[in-house]
Amino acid sequence: MESVKITNGKSPILQLKAVSGSYSPGSYAVNRVTTDIYANTITAIMGPSGCGKSTLLRAINRMHDLYPHIKTTGEIILKGKNVLAMDPMEVRRMAGMVFQQPNPFPTMSIYDNVLAGYKLNDIRLKKREKDDIVEQSLQSVGLWDEVKEVMTKRGSFLSGGQQQRLCIARALALNPEILLMDEPTSALDPISTNKIEELLLQLKEEFTIIIVTHNMSQAARISDNSMFMYLGELVEHENTTQMFTKPQNKRTEEYLTGVFG
Amino acid sequence: MKDKIFRLVLFVAALVILLLAAGIVYALVNRSVEAFGEYGTWGFISNAEWDPRSATEEYGALSFVMGTLYTAFFSLLLCIPFALAVALFNGEYFKGSGFSSFVSSIVDLLAGIPSIVYGLWGFYTVRPIVIEMGVNAQGFGIFLSSVVLSIMIIPYASSLSAEFLSMVPNKLKEGAYSLGATRLEVVRHISLPTAASGIVASFILALGRALGETMAVTMLIGNTNRIPQGLRDTGNTMASVIANQFGESDGLKLSALIAIGLLLFIITALINLAAKMVMKKLARI
């Protein structure tokens, strides 16, 4: 696979060098992906199911370490540090993740859910600091006004869309370098989806976002750059407008025009 | 037609079970009336005197109620760390692995060992150790029976707890890992709190087992009819006093033993009910 490059004059925040992911020896769900991701952009990873987009995303924050049969190889450089050589806990604090299913912790209040990253890592904070982080994080996902009166209620008390925004706030509270999102709106209704998409456009001012989506129009609406993956390989990584109007690769064009998917 | 007959058979079978249960309760109540009538319900429960000599005959249940509570709760306390460790091993750390199913079948095997075998083991193997430890001279007593009892109830607490731990949704654990939590932190802050009510329920059920366990306790507790003065002392539980004395009893004494049986039945029924209520709360997740 040729390396696919997007340059816009800045140095990349995340570099993937020949990244492969394998669930069983000899077969690769992700095959030697090499590319760069730039700060304050939204990058959409698209492709048919089973193409390796989630596998690639989860390699970045070392989620595969939880499952000993999954092997990740290559180099992943986040802010100049080699992710695969780091302590996975540190990597995961640098790279926040939002999942397909909203997963607020049902045993914690809304307030504690936002602070879960600190609580889980046994980082002690003063009451003032906690209040500030909670308010700031909830403000940035547009949830503050909706929940400030019900802060002590359980996170699972909220609607699906609110729960997902709570999970984004929980990831943002740790002030990550990059936000990894694995089809974050696929379990949500159109209105909640729309809110999250608007939110992501605001968040890219401060954060770098990589979003896996099987929804092409979502990629077109919100992403700056798009990656198209097929059978574990990165086929094309291009400016989104460019990719949707003049795809370089025939496979990409076929996928975008619905020949397969 | 066949369907109707089948339903009728099922209905009758269910009815027979209900009648049997009612019959047992009736028989217990009927034959304990004499003792409760003699001393009054509360008078019987709150009296620690158990004196079968015909001249000074007097019966009360308190010594045995206390003996039961001592052994059951002390054995529960002893079993908690081990049962929890086994549950975490099988339900979290090695969930679904071959090794875990091997360990859990060994633990389940513990539940299948007859009580009398535990009694023998306690008598000939654990008792010398307890004497060696200097707990008391003979080895018999609350301490010895609680130690053996705690091993007997581990499988009941651990297998159900493991079940509840393995039901903690993976998406919650992944969510916690994605925030940089270590495995221990995930267990402490996510798995255990999420499964908490189920774990509590399984320990309540194990307590129910401990309360009613008879044979091993009868062989190990020392069989003295007074309130135990601490863990080193001998005593009798409600179950062990019945097992020990029913063969040589009649009249008021027999009625008193059956009344103790009725009390034990009520206590264990309440304990099981409590466990069910705690588990119902679990339906949340």
**What share of chain B in percent tops pLDDT 90?**
82
Q: Which of A225, A31, A176, A196 is nearest to A100 (CA)?
A: A196
**What share of chain A in percent tops pLDDT 90?**
87
CATH number of B61-284: 1.10.3720.10
Q: What is the mean pLDDT of residues B116-124?
A: 96
Q: Answer yes or no: do B171 and A101 touch at CB < 8 A.
A: yes
pLDDT, one tens digit per residue, over B89-106 is 999 888 888 888 899 899
Q: What is the mean pLDDT of residues B54-69?
A: 93
Contacts of B182 in chain A (CB under 8 A): 89
Say which of A66, A99, A116 has its CB closest to residue B171. A99
Cβ-defined contacts of B123-126 (< 8 Å, 24+): B123/B219, B123/B220, B126/B220
The whole-angstrom distance between A237's CA and the closest CA on chain B is 26
Quick check: B194 contacting A, CB < 8 Å? yes
Chain A residue whose CA is closest to B179:
A117
Q: Answer yes or no: do A107 and B190 touch at CB < 8 A.
A: yes
Q: Answer yes or no: do A99 and B176 touch at CB < 8 A.
A: no
From CA B223, how far away is CA B177, in angstroms rounded?
A: 53
Can you tell me the ipTM of this complex? 0.92
Q: What is the mean pLDDT of residues A162-191?
A: 95
Contacts of A93 in chain B (CB under 8 A): 179-180
Q: Answer yes or no: do B179 and A61 touch at CB < 8 A.
A: no
Chain A residue whose CA is closest to B194:
A107
End-to-end Cα separation, chain B, in angstroms: 43
Strand order in the sheet with A81-82: A30-37, A14-22, A71-78, A81-82
**What share of chain A in percent tops pLDDT 70?**
96
Average pLDDT over chain B, rounded to an integer: 93
Report the sign of the C-alpha dihedral through residues A107, A112, A113, A119, in that order: negative
| pLDDT at residue number B275 | 87
Indicate if the pLDDT at residue A218 is higher than 70. Answer: yes
Q: Answer yes or no: do A107 and B179 touch at CB < 8 A.
A: no
pLDDT, one tens digit per residue, over A23-57 is 998 899 999 999 999 999 999 999 998 899 999 99
- Phi/psi at A204 (nearest 5 deg)? -70, -15
Q: Answer yes or no: do B179 and A174 touch at CB < 8 A.
A: yes
pLDDT, one tens digit per residue, over B232-284 is 999 999 999 999 999 989 899 999 999 999 999 999 999 989 988 888 876 55
Cβ-based contacts under 8 A for chains A and B: 68
Quick check: B177 contacting A, CB < 8 Å? yes
CA distances A254 to A194, A238, A244, B119, Å, are: 27, 16, 11, 75
Residue tagged 């640098």 (tokens): A94
Chain B residue whose CA is closest to A104:
B172
Q: Answer yes or no: do B171 and A121 touch at CB < 8 A.
A: no
Chain A residue whose CA is closest to B193:
A107
Q: Is the pTM of this model over 0.95?
A: no
CB distance B123 to B144 below 8 Å: no
CB distance B43 to B118 below 8 Å: no
Domains defined for chain A, CATH in brackets: 14-256 (3.40.50.300)
Q: What angle do CA B103, B108, B110 make, to 5 degrees?
A: 100
Chain B residue whose CA is closest to A180:
B178
The ranges assigned to domains in chain B are 2-51, 61-284
Indicate if the pLDDT at residue A75 is higher than 90. Answer: yes
Chain A residue whose CA is closest to B172:
A103
pLDDT, one tens digit per residue, over B63-84 is 999 999 999 999 999 999 999 9
From CA A248, how far away is CA A245, in angstroms rounded?
A: 10
Quick check: B189 contacting A, CB < 8 Å? yes
Q: What is the mean pLDDT of residues A13-20?
A: 95
Say which of B182, B284, B285 has its CB closest to residue A89. B182
| pLDDT at residue number A1 | 42
The whole-angstrom distance between A77's CA and the closest CA on chain B is 18
Q: What angle do CA A203, A206, A212 make, to 5 degrees?
A: 50
The whole-angstrom distance between B206's CA and the closest CA on chain A is 25
CB distance B111 to B155 below 8 Å: yes
- At residue B215, the 3 state secondary structure works out as helix
Q: What is the mean pLDDT of residues A239-246?
A: 93
Alpha helices per DSSP H over B113-190: 115-121, 127-132, 142-166, 170-178, 183-186
Q: Which of A32, A79, A40, A26 is nearest to A59 (CA)?
A: A32
- At residue B11, the 3 state secondary structure works out as helix
| pLDDT at residue number A11 | 81
Burial class (CB in 10 A: 0-12, 13-18, 19+), B148: buried
Cβ atoms within 10 Å, residue B216: 26
Say which of B179, B194, B284 has its CB closest to residue A116. B179
